[in-house]
Amino acid sequence: MKSLKSPSDLEKLRKDILAKKDPKRLAIAACVSTGCQALGAQKVLEAFDEEIKKQGLEGKVEIKETGCLGFCEKGPRIVIYPEEIYYFQVKASDVPEIVSKTLINNEIVERLLYTDTVTGKKARYLSEVPFYKYQNRLLLESNRKLDPKKIEDYLAIGGYAALAKALFQMTPEDVMNEVKDSNLRGRGGGGFPTYRKWESTRNAPGEPKYVIVNCDEGDPGAFMNRALMEGNPHSILEGLIIGAYAIGSHEGFIYVRQEYPLAIENMETAIKQAEQIGLLGEDILGSGFDFKVKIHRGAGAFVSGESSALMTAIEGKVGEPRPKYVHTSEKGVWDKPSTLNNVETWANIPLIINKGAEWFASIGTAGSKGTKIFALAGKVNNTGLVEVPFGISLRDIIYKIGGGIRNGKEFKGVQTGGPSGGVIPKQHLDSPVDFDELTKLGSMMGSGGMIVMDEDTCMVELARYFVNFLCDESCGKCTPCREGLKQANKILNGIVSGKGTEEDIKKLEKIAEVTSVASLCALGKTSANPLLTTLRYFKNEYDAHIKEKRCPALACKELISYYIDPEKCKACMICHRNCPADAIIGEKMKIHVIDQSKCTKCGTCYDMCPPRFGAVKKVSGEPVPSPIPEEERLIKRAKKEKRD
Amino acid sequence: MYEDRIDQIIDKYETEKGILIQLLLDIQHEFNWIPKEAIKRISERLKIPYSQIFRVASFYTALSLKPIGRHLVRVCLGTACYVRGAPRILDSVENKLGIKSGETTSDGKFSLETVNCLGCCALGPVIEIDGKYFGKLNSAKLEKILSSCN
C-alpha cells in the first residue's frame, strides 16, 4: 500500500479494500485473544487448517483471527461466515464435523450452539444469546469483525474516517468542543472529565506536549483494556492521534504492561502499518500535522498505573507517584505538559467525532455518558467482558447478562473498582451503575473490574487480601500508606486466624481514616475502601471472627476444620489417595476419618470427594464431631440399604 | 559470557531518552534475569549510576536479580482467580514443586512466582508457564500441565 496524501486517497483505498471483499465468501473467524488461547484456541485453528486441506476446501475458506468477543466463559469461540453461525466451546476434535457439516453442507452442529441456561433453547444468532442481548457494544462490537493485525480490516469498517474528519473538517478547537459536549469522563478509574485534562495540557506553557495511553491495567480482575488493545489497536491509535491534534501534541506514548505480550505485539503492528500508509508520522494524510508514537512496556508495579508514577516510569525511573499540587497535565513526562488517558477513553474518541457529541451524550445517565466495559468475573455463570450503557443496574449485569450465581449459591456481594474500590452488598443490587452512584455506596467505578462473590467468600478474608495486596504494592514513599497498610494487614491477619480482639475494629477504622486523608497518591488515599465497605456492610462477619472465632463463610483456614460425614462416606479412597498430608485414615469398605492432628486444611479432600457423595464437610466455631467407633466403620451392603 | 549480547541490546536504544526500563526488560527476556555484568555495562555505557539501575531493577516485579529456572510458573492471585480458588492452586504447585513462591527448584528446572493479574479473569484460576496460559484450573489439570514440562 502506498502512502496516503489526502482524505480522498483514504476513501479510495477503503473502496478498493471493500471491492475486494466478497460478502458471500466462506470464512471462519476464531478469537485468538489471551483468554481463548488459554482454552486452546490455537489448537482449534491448527485443526481447521489441516481439516480444510483434507476435505478439499483449500483456498475456498478464509481463516480469520480476531480479538476478544467477551464471552470468555464459553471459549474457544468461532464464527462461520457468511451465515454468522456462532459455535462455543469448540474443541479440536469438533473440527472435522464442523468442516464436513457446516462448511460443506451448510448444516448446523447443534451441540456447539449456545444453549440458554434457563429455557434450554439453542441460540442460532448472537443476538439471541442473553449475554449479548442486554449489552450495548459500541467499542467491543468491532472486535469480532476484524483481524487486529490487518489495517485493511479496520479501514473496511470505516476506520480512520474520524481522523480524516478531524484533520480536514474541524479545527483543534472544534475537536475540543466536541469532546467537551460529549461529557466523556476518563475510563481509568477516577472519572475525571476528559475535556478538562486536554484543555489543561493544551493551554499549559512548554513544548513538546505529550499524549499518553494508559494500558497498565494493574487492577486485578480487569481486562477490558487488554481486550481492546489486542482486538482493535487501531481504534485506540486513531483516538490518540485525534487527541494529539486537538491538544497540539506531536509525540505520544503507549504504556502497556509487559504481562500483555499480545497487546504489545498487536499495537506494534498497528503502529507500523499506520506509519506505512501515512496515518502516522509526518504530514498525516497531507494535513501538515505530524505525530509519532512509541510503546513503553511497564515492568510490573501496580502503583505505576497512577498518572504521575506512570510518567516517571516512561522517563526510565522507578515508577513512584509525586504530590499532585502541580498537575501532570501541566508538568508530566520530563516536566512537559502531558495528557494521560485510559485505553477505553481513547477508543471512544473516534466514535464521538464520527457520530457527534449529541449522540454520545444521549447514552447513559446525567453525570456519566456513553458505555462502560466491565470485566465480569468471579462466581457468576457467564464471565467475560460486558459493555453496557451507564445507568444499568448491578442486578441486570449480574443476573440478566451474567446469568446469576454459579451452582445455585447465594449472592453475597460484588466487588467493583479493584483494590481501590469496595464490596457492594445485596441490598444495593438495584443501584444504577455510574461514576457517582458507586462512589456514594463507598466503592468506585475504577477501571471496570466487577467480581461477584457468593456465600463461600469471607468478607474479612477479602479485606485482608486487598490490604495485603496494597501493602505489597505500596511504593513506600509516604508514611501513612506504607505504615498504615502494614499495621492494618497485621490486624486483619490476626482476625482471620482467630486472634482478633474487640479493639481491632476501632484500630482499623482509625488507620483507614489516616491513610485516606494523609496519603500522597490515589493508591494510598483509596486503600481503605475495601476495608471500610466490608466493615460497613458485613460487620457481622467481623464480629463472628472476633467474638466467636467463627468464619461464617467457612473460608478462613485457621478457623475451620474438615471432617468426613460417616453417613455419606462410601469409602471410595479418592480423598485418601489425594491427601498430601496423609491425614486420612481409611481403606476399602471402611468409612474414612480425618486425623485432625495431621490435617493441614488444604481442602484437597473437599474438592476431590465426588459431588454425589459430598461426604467431606467443613465446620467453624464448633468442635469436629467425634469419629464413630471403629467397629461401625465397616460398610456392609445390608446396612447401607437399610440406611437408604 | 554475556558482554556481547548485552552490548547488542544496548546498541538498539543508545541514543534514546528514558530507555532504562525497556533495556532491562530486554535483558530480562534474553537471560531470564538481570546479571550483575549487565548492570555494570549499562552503567558504563549510558552513564547512569550503578545504584540507580539497581534501584529500578529491584523495584519492578518483572525484573529479577536472581537466575530463574528453565520453566517459569506464574500463579495468578488476582481477585477473580482468588475467589475461584487460586490460593489452593498455589498450595498445590508449592507442594508439587517443593518450593515457595519466589524460589527455584534445586535442579534449576522450575521457578515459581505469583502475579497480581494476568488479565484472564473470566477463566480463573489461571496459571502461566513460559508464556503459555492455562485457564479453569483444578488439581488434576495442574498435575498434567506440570508433568508435561521437561
Q: Per residue in A451-504, pLDDT tens?
A: 999 999 999 999 999 999 999 888 888 999 999 999 999 999 999 999 999 999
pLDDT at A640: 46
Residue A641's pLDDT band, with cuts at 50, 70 and 90, is very low
Identify the closest residue of chain A to B126 by CA–CA distance. A38
**HSE of A481 in the Cβ direction (CA atoms, 13 Å)?**
23
* Mean pLDDT (whole number) for B94-115: 92
Q: Is A159's pLDDT higher than 90?
A: yes
Nearest CA distance, A638 vs chain B (angstrom): 35
Q: What is the CATH number of domain A380-454?
A: 3.10.20.600
Q: Give the DSSP letter string of chain B.
A: --HHHHHHHHHHHTTSSS-HHHHHHHHHHHHSS--HHHHHHHHHHHT--HHHHHHHHHHSTT--SS---SEEEEEE--HHHHHTTHHHHHHHHHHHHT--TT-B-TTSSEEEEEES--S-GGG-S-EEETTEEE-S--HHHHHHHHHT--
Q: What is the CATH number of domain A557-643?
A: 3.30.70.20
Express as a percent the part of chain A with pLDDT over 90: 75
* Mean pLDDT (whole number) for A184-202: 93
Q: Are A230 and A67 in contact (CB under 8 A)?
A: yes
The CATH architecture to which A151-361 belongs is 3-Layer(aba) Sandwich (3.40)
Using a CB-CB distance cutoff of 8 angstroms, which residues of chain A are in contact with residue B55? 318
* Contact across the interface for A383 and B119, Cβ inside 8 Å: no
**Cell of residue A576, nine digits:** 485418601
Pick the CATH number of B71-147 from 3.40.50.2000, 3.40.30.10, 1.20.1730.10, 1.10.10.10: 3.40.30.10
* Contact across the interface for A415 and B88, Cβ inside 8 Å: no
Fold matches, A25-81+85-124 and A557-643: no
Distance CA A49, CA A265 (A): 23
Using a CB-CB distance cutoff of 8 angstroms, which residues of chain B are in contact with residue A409? none
Q: Per residue in A326-376, pLDDT tens?
A: 899 999 999 999 999 999 999 999 999 999 999 999 999 999 999 999 999
pLDDT at A38: 87
Interface size A-B, in CB pairs within 8 Å, comes to 161
Integer angstrom CA distances of residue B119 from A401, A418, B116, B142: 20, 13, 9, 19
Residue B85's pLDDT band, with cuts at 50, 70 and 90, is confident
Cα dihedral A487/A493/A498/A503 (nearest 10): 20
pLDDT at B14: 65
Topology at the third CATH level for domain B3-59: Arc Repressor Mutant, subunit A (1.10.10)
Using a CB-CB distance cutoff of 8 angstroms, which residues of chain B are in contact with residue A317? 18, 20, 52, 56
Q: Is A581's pLDDT higher than 70?
A: yes
Q: Per residue in A91-143, pLDDT tens?
A: 999 999 999 999 999 999 999 999 887 788 888 888 888 899 899 999 999 99
Topology at the third CATH level for domain A25-81+85-124: Glutaredoxin (3.40.30)
pLDDT at A637: 56
pLDDT at A188: 87
Between A442 and A342, the more confident residue is A342
Q: What is the CATH number of domain A459-547?
A: 1.20.1440.230
Highest mean pLDDT of the ranges A271-275, A606-610, B100-104: A271-275
Which of A231-235, A409-413, A576-580, A633-637 is the least confident region? A633-637
Range A93-100, long-range pairs (CB < 8 A, 24+ positions): A93/A47, A94/A44, A95/A44, A95/A47, A95/A48, A95/A51, A96/A47, A96/A51, A96/A54, A96/A55, A98/A48, A99/A48, A99/A51, A99/A52, A99/A55, A99/A57, A100/A55
pLDDT at A412: 96
* Mean pLDDT (whole number) for A154-183: 97
Of A47, A86, A81, give the one whose Cα is nearest residue A64: A81
Q: Per residue in A292-328, pLDDT tens?
A: 999 999 998 888 888 899 999 999 999 888 887 889 9
Query: Could you tell me the pTM of the whole model?
Result: 0.91
Nearest CA distance, A256 vs chain B (angstrom): 12
- Rounded to two decimals, the ipTM of the complex is 0.90
Taking the domains of chain A in order of start, what are their residue ranges?
A: 25-81+85-124, 151-361, 380-454, 459-547, 557-643
pLDDT at B1: 64
Taking the domains of chain B in order of start, what are their residue ranges?
A: 3-59, 71-147
pLDDT at A642: 44
Average pLDDT, chain A: 92
* Contact across the interface for B121 and A449, Cβ inside 8 Å: yes
